[in-house]
Chains A and B, each alone.
Chain A
């Protein structure tokens, strides 16, 4: 005891050392040997090895030896740690310790900042800032260090949490000394994210833009090494950092997959810092082969007492509350290597609470220790210095009362680089127990002290004639104690005692008392035995059961992803979309995801037979123009030409609209970039496979498409932000033409250069996509309204040597249908939309009919997550307006879009060999009365009206179960959060939606513009 107090003193003077040799000394030099021997401790050397009764010798900053039966040389301060534990100090693999807060850029309206304004020979985009390095701005911060040290951390990775390429981080100890002494590794890792942070450059404003920028940067960096004309610090630094560990702050489980796609493309291996959602797609996480840094940010329970208010909580939020604490354990079970960080916790105190929660949910203590010591040390290349207790490593260790992960454990001291930091001074003796109190007027009183060192509860009782029991207060400050209690009777009023630990065997507290009447007396309390175990109320075991993970992790997800079936649909009206036309009383047989036969009286074989008498069967609906199932913004409208961005990079397989539209018979959707700029991004054709991973939504073998746009949106006519200068070119239909001429002129020059100089040409993702168009490998679907602009693009295409595949929207297609026919251009339009802006003031619902009659391949599309689920009715409007035959009308939303998307060999009609994408309707599918009863994609029954009812019940039951659990948790004192704070809904997009939410902290570049 005495010794401990002594060494506490030594620290106060803060005077050591030889390490800092270059600094002059003011006054008399005061170099102390810093020799300590910690004896009789249980030393947990690492997660594999524990030494009982061991001795740890340290010399100044470094461990001299760890072992049992070590002879202690002379000159050492001996600290007896009998009954106590020594652990390596923890390492937090992800912090911003020692760095200034990233400045939050004020919202200044829509400023146009196309290029970096940062002075110096840096790259064009401020979000790519690998030139930033923590080593040059790091400054240790005593008060922040303390919060970490209290939790047992001895070293951290410190990184700049701002930007896409964020430069290098350091590993530093939490020592309270000169920065020169605490930095363990000056360039620990290169850090990345999808978020551009405070970068003022407008681009990127979307997730797909961030991804394109990262990909382009890898290409630029490769090119940079082989060129001599340009000096670029950003690219030079980017290249130099490739040998460091690469850490990517990804976010949720799908973000990890997005980042991993980049990693695989460029032969990188990232360590992923995540949001802790891995449990939602554990197999896919494992398949990345990467290591992870996971947080302990488990959500609080919600306030669910008010059932109406509770409706604002999503199923995902409910499930997450229950499942997130299992994430570390499930990661361990899956065999994924991971570090644990305290990053993201609202309060540092939550760290141990949540870590223990994770352990309660199955995380092993050994794994927890590894994830907080050895693994982060290895990840960051500092395992020669920290992470375990071994000779030569830094003297970073914890002294604890118990097994580190036990609930009762107290961290007494956290030594960082051989310097003591006292976490909990009350470390010497546990004062819990029964005591007999003596002193004038105090005789007969027994004190019962319960609790842990640091926090005791007191009750006082007197037995016999004046039997009484009272709660009191017990405060300990080192060896000093203060107690008070009110017996209510004989005497009544508060008795106040102060004193000190006067003897440790038997444990005795002695001091002076002040009685309620003001008189003073002496007291002493002698330990009479432990508080009987029976009086420790055993905490009821928490309910650790949890519901299944559903795929996708959303309402109506399935615990098991449904499989393809072999089915014979009997006796239906079958709309073949083939020369057989509409066949009554016909059968359809599907097998292995394909249509096997269509015709009358087919034999079932081993197929499940579904009686479809009175029903209609059609091919699945194909939506040529959709913006569902994509995340992080649908427009990268910050430049006029953004052909480098790809919707395929940002697919969101968890969008409820995938399911809702299955319930409207939709099986295939063409997900388009928005219409904010003349050359938008690359599109992606997906199938509504509810529950698969984003990559698995893609329709294999489909030709690539790209979105172009004309008219009011690209010239920003309807942007009305007060004072916002609209200066991005173009601002008129005249300018739009020049954007195309310029882009394709550049593309042709690029193509020519590639042919001559090959690999020496800087690869340009934007121009690559345009070259694909010139080579007819990528097709254009162009947002268009009025005849003048349609005519214009046809002319530009002719003169530049490319083809327009589809005009989408094309509401004045009826005015130029002859030209479209001549050029073989398809038209994908709305059934009846008009009057929502000036360029649609002559849009008519007969448009589709006229284009169709003129021989243009014509489709009706949605551009709207609601309309998409009743495209069958929209097709029906071709009957209302213009009396198109029903057979041809259905093709507007099935075969014709399949044709214009170049996938009519796979989908769009009911024909043997095509994909088994079909819908069973209750009646004529074009009728307002038609209900999609069953929808199959690749033979998989993803939608079934009857089964959906059961699914709704299951969903309701699971929600109710979790809500009951939340109520129970709240009753037990769990902290809760109000329901309905923050958005629960994912944003929905149409063409005009310009939004950059999560990817731009600084720049509220745009609001949401709604309309087509």
Chain B
């Protein structure tokens, strides 16, 4: 098909480009194994002496584990509740004909256009007035609400492919909507549940602006706020900051490689369809 030389140039080009794009990753990882002195005199090279004390120092910090735990709680609560609320709503939009179906679906979709930043002041005041400041819910509830539109869109698209004959048959056998949803729709839709779960969890894990507004107590900081806190503490010792960042990168990359299929399906599929 293609000549050998043009293929060679293509690989050369792609490899060089990948190299450039990955330089920041490389430098970050290498720095985490350097002493501060090594870091400032030997910037691009391998560590003169590989040290692991940066890692043991970071792992030994209490708040390192607190931040990770908090992000896990925010992520799991948000994901589970988003899956429940969004799949139920999407089931109604996909399978039940009633007056207002289309209107309510569009109402939820409008949310996709709402910039989150515009809502931060009223959100803060509302959460404060509900007495939720200082709890996990201050972050979780708004996260669910802002994720719903996209999740419902993905679920509905998938549910629509389940043939309605299946419901007719189940209905004759005395199955009601609730049972149909629980026994047939959900088991048949596990791929889309995984996709929505992965995208929701990652979004929650990475979220910064919302917790920045809502969380003032360090005990409740999620991971990204934790990193910024850590950076403030160690601004004079960047080998520590970069170790912290490296520890963040490794699970993120592993998670991406494992869930790649779902992440890309969620990001591109939902966007390209409709």
Q: Do A and B come from one complex?
A: no
Q: What residues of chain B have their CB less than 8 Å away from a CB belonging to chain A? A: none
